Amino acid sequence: MSKLFRNPIFCGLDTHDLDEAERLAKTLVPVVGGLKIGLEFFYAFGRSGYERIAETGVPIFLDLKLHDIPNTVAGGIRSLLSLQPAIMNVHASGGIEMMKRARGVVEEEGDGRPWLIGVTLLTSLDAGDIARLGAQGSPSDQVRRLAAAAQEAGLDGVVCSPQEVEVLRQDCGSDFKLIVPGIRMKGESADDQKRVMTPSDALVHGADILVISRPIIRAADPAAAVENILADLPPAA
């Protein structure tokens, strides 16, 4: 775990209600490592909505998964940096040149820059899905290829499913950040995720950040839900 964050849990604010998102953020600030703002939230509320959440002082993972030609992605990154996210991401499948350009823009921020992370393979995809897309090999093979490209491009790490954490930690070393969605509690429905794991198991395998949304925001007491998850994590976390 990076010392930048209180703990490895980032909760996704997946809601179309800005007041509810702000209330939830204020509730979770004392217990989470950070919050994740993704496409659903950002498209609904834009910069002003983001800034309302950022006013709580919590670290934010701006999960917009930029994917376009290198110049366009570099421009997008430059436009978003003024929001001062702690983490931001691009699709690794956009190619090494695109990732290098994005990295170059982020480096202009100096020591206070955010982590720049490459998205490998969405956790909603399995072997059948990637075969239909024409990719060769298993999901793990595809994730390893994309993670290697992200590391070559100088990115800080990747987003991957829990099932690829162990092999990526071996491939990419201890300093390469692994941000892991697809986290579910024991006995909980996987919903639209296909490659999932419990929080404790994901950390044991080498995850740095756990993105956990539905098990927290659906709970009657979201802060207590976070505290219960933290209590079950291995001591080293």
- Domains within the chain, CATH numbers bracketed: 9-232 (3.20.20.70)
Marked catalytic residue, from 3, 19, 26, 68: 68
Nearest to 144 by CA among 168, 176, 174: 168
CA distances, 186 to each of 21, 198, 206, 213, 227 (Å): 26, 6, 19, 15, 16
Identify which of 227, 208, 233, 237 has the alpha carbon closest to the alpha carbon of residue 30: 227
103 vs 124: CA distance, rounded Å: 27
- Model pLDDT, residue 134: 78
Strand 157-159 and strand 87-91: the pairing is: unpaired
Which residue reads 């990637």 in tokens?
Answer: 130
Annotated binding site for substrate: 14, 36, 63-72, 123, 184, 193, 214
164 touches 143 (CB < 8 A): yes
* Catalytic annotation present for 68: yes
Written as tens digits, the pLDDT of the chain (237 aa) is 445 799 999 999 988 899 999 999 999 999 999 999 999 999 999 999 999 999 999 999 999 999 999 999 999 999 999 999 999 999 999 999 999 999 999 999 988 899 999 999 887 877 888 888 877 788 899 999 999 999 999 999 999 988 899 999 999 999 999 999 878 666 555 454 554 578 888 898 899 999 998 889 999 999 999 999 999 888 754
User: H or E segment at 62?
Assistant: strand 60-66
Phi, psi of 121 (to 5 degrees): -125, 125
Please check whether residue 10 is in contact with residue 92, taking contact to mean a CB–CB distance below 8 angstroms: no
Task: Confirm whether 129 is a catalytic residue.
Answer: no
Distance CA 50, CA 57 (A): 12
Question: In the annotation, is 65 catalytic?
Answer: yes
Task: Provide φ and ψ at 162, rounded to 5°.
Answer: -55, -30
Catalytic residue among 3, 17, 26, 65: 65
* Confidence (pTM): 0.90
Extract the annotated binding site. 14, 36, 63-72, 123, 184, 193, 214
19, 26, 63, 232: which one is catalytic? 63
* Closest to 219 in 3D by CA, of 5, 6, 27, 17: 27
Q: What are phi and psi of 177, to 5 degrees?
A: -75, 135
Give the DSSP H or E segment for 115: strand 115-119
**Strand, coil or helix: what is 92?**
helix
